Amino acid sequence: MRFRVASLNLEQDLKRWDQRRPLIQTEIARLGPDILALNEVCVPKQTARALWRGMGDGFHLVQQTRVNGLSEIEGEALITRFPVVETANLDYRARDMVALVARLLVNGSPIDVYVTHLYMSRGDDSLRLHQVQRLLAWIRERDDVSARVVCGDFNATLDMPSAALMASTFRPTQREPTAFTPLADADGSVSHPYWPRMDRCIDYVWVQGPIEVEKSGVGFNQASAGDPSLWPSDHAGVWADLTL
């Protein structure tokens, strides 16, 4: 069975969220994902719930907030049209960051879909490496399913130790640049001014097990027709057509 997965870092509710939201919803409608992973969900504004409601009937929402003080601010989310039979979460015990997993039934077959967001792009990769080590150990503990998908902002290119470790057991569906778009705030300040625009891939859909990648690419990567500084987010997203 073929199904489509998409992943996007929402940039919380920052940088003109109310103006960005229609761009995100339009791209969701265009891509038509069966599974949508979201990083940097804004808890106060319930941004994941807003997008979920806009996707229509038949979709399910799973959310996991970050821990400690960030539990009221930010989280990860998964929206899917497939039945959800189990959920769980992992506290990395580092920077209040988490991962979530939902076991889905895709045409009757179980598949675990993980959503996570690793330490910031300018941070020390040793912390991201620690997070990947913990993530992979957790995945190995859940050894009663063979098909797995991991989505999210890893804040690392494939030549860095953290992403290279992930690639030792999972396959990235694409390697096109996803960071960073020229998203600007109302005052004109550009997201991540210290980085070049769209010169690196740090957002991924990873697959493992009996899953084939038919097509993949980058989405959420078009500015508003009327404002070249307004983008869906500070990251582009990724999508992949998979066959189980």
What distance in Å separates the CA atoms of residue 59 and residue 67, rounded to the nearest whole number? 26
Beta strands at 212-219 and 237-243: parallel, antiparallel or unpaired? antiparallel
Q: Facing residues of 64 across strands?
A: 76
Query: Model-level pTM?
Result: 0.98
Flag whether pLDDT at 116 surpasses 90.
yes
More confident residue, 122 or 234: 234
Average pLDDT, the chain: 97
Which domains does the chain show, CATH number per domain?
Answer: 2-243 (3.60.10.10)
27: left (phi over 0), alpha (psi -120 to 50) or beta: alpha
**pLDDT-derived band at 122, boundaries 50, 70, 90:** confident
What distance in Å separates the CA atoms of residue 118 and residue 9, rounded to the nearest whole number? 11
Nearest CA to 160 out of 188, 201, 191, 198 is that of 201
Tokens of 166: 């992930």
Per-residue pLDDT tens digits for 12-67: 999 999 999 999 999 999 999 999 999 999 999 999 999 999 999 999 999 999 99
Is 135:171 a contact under the CB 8 Å cutoff?
no
What distance in Å separates the CA atoms of residue 180 and residue 81, rounded to the nearest whole number? 29
Flag whether pLDDT at 123 surpasses 90.
no
Nearest CA to 176 out of 206, 155, 199, 159 is that of 199
